[in-house]
Homo-oligomer: A and B are copies of this chain.
């Protein structure tokens, strides 16, 4: 919990590399995480929750098995719970992720890209 105003640019400057989400705020039992995306993540799903992406810089894609969506700065998207998906960004993209506390970034597909959870910046 923080009672400060959170500036996305300042927080992002302290995130060292892609695919390393960092918690910036909590609301009830939900967390707000900033993440840098570059390249391709892994196919995974979250059986227990929807997941929101708000793009604050650049463009990212969310691929599903039957379609792909592109999300630009000033746009948001809700990944439905249980739907297998993969995130991609050809150039570095910055996004705010909103999801319940305790959700792993790789969902059901733990791998070398699984980030340490609940790390604040």
Q: Which residues of A (12-44) have their CB < 8 Å from a CB of B?
A: 24-28, 30, 32
Q: Nearest Cβ distance between residue A98 and chain B, in whole angstroms?
A: 7
Q: How many copies does the complex hold?
A: 2
A interface secondary structure, majority: strand
- List residues of chain A with CB under 8 Å of any chain B CB: 1-3, 5-9, 24-28, 30, 32, 49-52, 54, 56, 69-72, 74-78, 80-81, 96, 98-100
24 contacting pairs across A/B (C-beta < 8 A): A1-B78, A1-B80, A3-B80, A5-B69, A5-B70, A5-B71, A5-B77, A6-B76, A6-B77, A7-B72, A8-B75, A8-B76, A24-B76, A25-B52, A25-B78, A26-B50, A27-B50, A27-B51, A27-B98, A28-B50, A28-B81, A28-B100, A32-B52, A32-B76
